[in-house]
Structure 1
Amino acid sequence: MKPYQQVPIQDCNEPLVFIPSQAFVLETPHPYEKLGAPYGDRSPYVLRQGVLERLITAQQHLEVLRPGWRILVFDAYRPVAVQQFMVDYTFMELVRSHNRIPAELTEPERQNFWQQVYQFWAVPNLDPHTPPPHSTGAAIDVSLVDETGAVVDMGSPIDEVSPRSFPNAFAAAADPNSATYDAAIAPFHQRRQLLHEVMTRAGFRRHLEEWWHFSYGDQMWVWLGMQMGEPAQAAIYGRVMDAENSVID
């Protein structure tokens, strides 16, 4: 169990609502759908109503700082079945990237690979007390698109299992007063900081190890606030138990 999963949940029962495609950049079909993830009739591009309202506010902040730029929504609501699919897929891809065959791994090797996977992916748990963040409709993976419509290079792709995914992976290279300053790499950190600024001003909090993952009102959001000295409270968003019947237009 991760520390944030100890936060109690008192779900406010807000519905899931569709993310408006005219306001944000949505990839269709969804990246995980392309891999065969089992969404069924469910859409990945829905969020709890209060979360969507804050995402719209974040977009408004971005427009002030970078006119013409838009937030790219990579992923939002994720059923637990999709979480399971992507965890298994990531494990297999990670093993292959090391030129290994899963069936030939020793148990210590297997555990090492799983440890790397679960550093970035939540356990696909059906326990309503410890839901994967995206299954709550309160977590979102985002990036940026510039005024030309080009996806902004953030230094590493979303979901990469490596230290480059850490929010401050390029911070040292962005400090002009540091011996490690690198003008070619510095923009990566600056863009991550821009994304962080517009999202946090809207009320979101960022995952400690993923530059793209933000949430509002879930267990992780509460726990991150507690690390900043805020009082303990219950999360207002738990796992969406019946997404098909809880989405409104």
Structure 2
Amino acid sequence: MKPYQHIAIVECGEPLLPIPEPLFSLVSPHPYTTVGAPYGEKSPFYLREGVLKHLIEAQALLQKEFPGWRIQVFDAYRPIAVQQYMVDHTFRDVAQSKGLSLGRLTESERESLLELVYEFWAVPSLNPATPPPHSTGGAIDVTLVDEFGQAVAMGSPIDELSPRSYPDHFATSIDFRDRSFHEHRQRLRSIMLTAGFQQHPNEWWHFCLGDQMWAWLTMQANPDAKVTARYGAVGEG
């Protein structure tokens, strides 16, 4: 179990609501549906009602400083079946990239691959006490687009399984381009945290509010605080 999964959940019952376009830029076609993820009639572009309100606040903060810029949503709500599919898909991709055959993996190789995958992907748990963050409607993967609708350079793509994904990876670089990547990440982080979100420690793009990770990170920043999660898994029926 990851540390945040020990946080208690007191479900508040807020509904999932669609993320409005064109207020936000939505990645299309959606990358997970493109590889066959089983969303069915569900949409990745949904959030809990309270989370959406805070995302709109973050958008307003961004546009106040940079008129015309928008938050681009890569992914938000993710059914647990999709989480399982993408973990399996990523596992296969990583094995292939290392020249390994799935049918011939040693136990050590399998454990090493899973360790890498689960550094960035949550376990697709069906246990109501340990839901994947995206399955709660309280987590979102985002980046920025400028006034021309062009993606702002962040130094690595969303979902890359490497140290470049760590939020502060470029913080100490003296290279001019690397410094610009760090500044752009800091800009995204600043507006999201000001709007009430918390950032995943390993992913510059992942922010959360109201789920177990958010509660755990909030208490890490404020050790005297007593915080519970208010969002559990939704939409699995």
Is the structural similarity TM-score above 0.5?
A: yes
Alignment of 1:19-30 (within 5 A): 19-30=19-30
- 1:199 lines up with 2:192 in the alignment: yes
Residue aligning to 1:165:
165
Task: Give the C-alpha shift of residue 232 in structure 1.
Answer: 2.0
- 1:236 lines up with 2:205 in the alignment: no
Structure 1 runs (4+) deviating above 3 angstroms are none
Residue aligning to 1:114:
114
Instruction: Select the residue among 172, 177, 185 that pairs with 2:178.
Output: 185
Residue aligning to 1:17:
17
Residue aligning to 1:214:
207
2:14 and 2:222 map into 1 onto residues whose CA distance is 27
Asked whether the equivalents of residues 79 and 236 of structure 2 are also in contact (C-alpha less than 8 Å), the reply is no
Task: Give the C-alpha shift of residue 208 in structure 1.
Answer: 0.5
Query: Which sections of structure 2, spanning at least 5 residues, go unmatched?
Result: none
2:120 and 2:207 map into 1 onto residues whose CA distance is 13
1:152 and 1:97 map into 2 onto residues whose CA distance is 27
2:79 and 2:177 map into 1 onto residues whose CA distance is 38
Q: Give identity over the alignment, percent.
A: 56
Q: What amino acid is the match of 2:100?
A: R
Task: Give the C-alpha shift of residue 242 in structure 1.
Answer: 4.6
Q: What amino acid is the match of 1:86?
A: M
Alignment of 1:79-94 (within 5 A): 79-94=79-94
Q: What amino acid is the match of 1:170?
A: F
Query: Which sections of structure 1, spanning at least 5 residues, go unmatched?
Result: 174-180, 244-249
How high is the TM-score relative to the length of structure 2? 0.97
SS in 2 for 1:172: coil
2:33 and 2:77 map into 1 onto residues whose CA distance is 13
Residue aligning to 2:216:
223
Residue aligning to 1:59:
59
Deviations 1:185-225 (A, max 9, x none): 11010000000001011000000110000000110001001
Deviates more, 1:97-106 or 1:12-21: 97-106
Q: What amino acid is the match of 2:226?
A: A
Q: What amino acid is the match of 1:140?
A: I
RMSD: 1.0
Deviations 1:84-134 (A, max 9, x none): 000000011111111222222211011101100000000000000000000
Aligned pairs, number: 236
- 1:68 lines up with 2:68 in the alignment: yes
Residue aligning to 2:45:
45
1:68 and 1:15 map into 2 onto residues whose CA distance is 29
